[in-house]
Amino acid sequence: MSNENNNSIGRQILVVDDAPPNQMLLMLLLQKMGHHVTIANNGKEAVEMASQNNYDLIFMDMHMPIMNGFDATRELRSLNISTPIVALTASILQSDIESTYDYGCNDYMAKPIDRKLLKKIVNKYLPTRPDQYAEKIDALKQQTELLSGICSIDDDTPSSGENVNPAEIIDLEDAMKFCGDETAIKRIAASIVADGSQTVKMMESSIKAENTKDLLLAAHRLRGICLLIGAKKLAISAEKIEDQASTGSVGDSKILLEQLKQQFDSLVTFLSRTDWLEKARSTVKA
């Protein structure tokens, strides 16, 4: 997913992340600020793109397949590319945070992304220009076109999952905190259904192959995207598998995965309802 306009006088931002829901959310938030966004799916793509194009700011996920953010940042710095790089990671370990700076990052943001902090970070490295306000209208038009073309849950889908307790599935207040509005929540939710299904399959195949490296990446990815819409219990289950994989052994991950799959199926069932957002609203305390 990319949206690049080399003829625009707007600020150019490169978002590097392997998870489509994260890509989508950052694109939406940055476009609302009036910026133009290009997406790279891994560190290798990021190095190639940044070597061929001039970006004003780079948001770099640290944990990705093919080439991670640490190696990509080090490679960019070795090529004398001085573009500010903001590290993105769900890890809160101080050692990981310090490592992002050691590899050449200028700043750090924890996932899920805090929208207010994102704005501060962007303004820190890309101070608003007077002519940028005129570009926001065009950026919002691009955003509308993007939303219309992105995968979405069909509004005609029959209601299902009548026995599902919305409060057990998602926390709408958290979803609003990270996504900003209900339109974004619906789009991010649809993307999570599609991407999450593939990620769960990756976890399953990694466990069968006893590939703890890929299992760690997949579990980390699922945990991060689930938190975007407040699917906390599912995120906790993914974190348990992530912790197990970090030991270098699949251990009881197979059992943990079965629980996770049930939770993910419940999430998909809930999001297939035509009135899921209304049901989620009913759980928010006045």
Band (2; pLDDT cuts 50, 70, 90): very low
Is 157 a residue whose pLDDT tops 50? no
**68 Cβ neighbours under 8 A, 6+ residues apart:** 43, 62
Q: Which ranges in the chain belong to alpha helices (H)?
A: 20-32, 43-52, 69-78, 94-102, 115-125, 132-149, 166-169, 172-179, 182-208, 212-228, 232-245, 253-271, 276-281
Confidence of residue 94 (pLDDT cuts 50, 70, 90): confident
Average pLDDT, the chain: 85
pLDDT tens column, 51-77: 999 999 999 999 999 999 999 999 999
Percent of the chain with pLDDT over 70: 82
Average pLDDT over every residue of 275-279 = 92
Place of tokens 């793109």: 49
Q: Which CATH class is domain 166-281?
A: mainly alpha
pLDDT band, very low/low/confident/very high, at 284 (cuts 50, 70, 90): confident
Q: What's the CATH superfamily of 12-143?
A: Response regulator (3.40.50.2300)
> Where do the CATH 1.20.120.160 domains begin and end in the chain?
166-281
Q: Is the pTM of this model over 0.85?
A: no
164 has pLDDT over 90:
no
Three-class DSSP category at 269? helix
Residue limits of CATH 3.40.50.2300 in the chain = 12-143
